[in-house]
């Protein structure tokens, strides 16, 4: 597909989403996989993201901080050895 065709297709997908249709309904109507619809449904989010996911999620960060706050020896044991 040429980029103009992809842009036209993307506009045809984003327009129904903005009018209130869900990505599964749009997927059935346009016969395109729902993961592509889900990725394109917000404007300008169709480029691939480079790099891997972050090493720690915000939830795991909070869990580690809570563990360190409740058990201070956890931090000192690992830093001394």
Domain boundaries defined on the chain: 1-50, 51-81
pLDDT score for 10: 79
pLDDT in tens, 11-57: 787 788 788 888 788 888 888 887 877 777 665 555 555 677 778 88
DSSP code for 21: -
Query: 10 near 46, Cβ under 8 Å?
Result: yes
- Which pLDDT score, from 0 to 100, does residue 30 have? 82
Question: Helices 23-30 and 3-18 meet at what angle, rounded to 10?
Answer: 130
The structure's pTM equals 0.41
80 against 11, higher pLDDT: 11
């Amino acid at each position: 597909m040429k980029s103009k065709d992809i842009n036209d297709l993307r506009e045809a997908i984003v327009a129904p989403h903005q009018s209130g249709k869900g990505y599964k309904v749009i997927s059935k109507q346009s016969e395109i996989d729902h993961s592509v619809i889900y990725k394109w449904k917000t404007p300008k989010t169709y480029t691939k993201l480079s790099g891997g996911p972050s090493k720690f999620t915000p939830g795991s960060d909070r869990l580690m901080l809570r563990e360190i706050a409740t058990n201070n020896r956890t931090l000192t044991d690992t830093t001394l050895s």
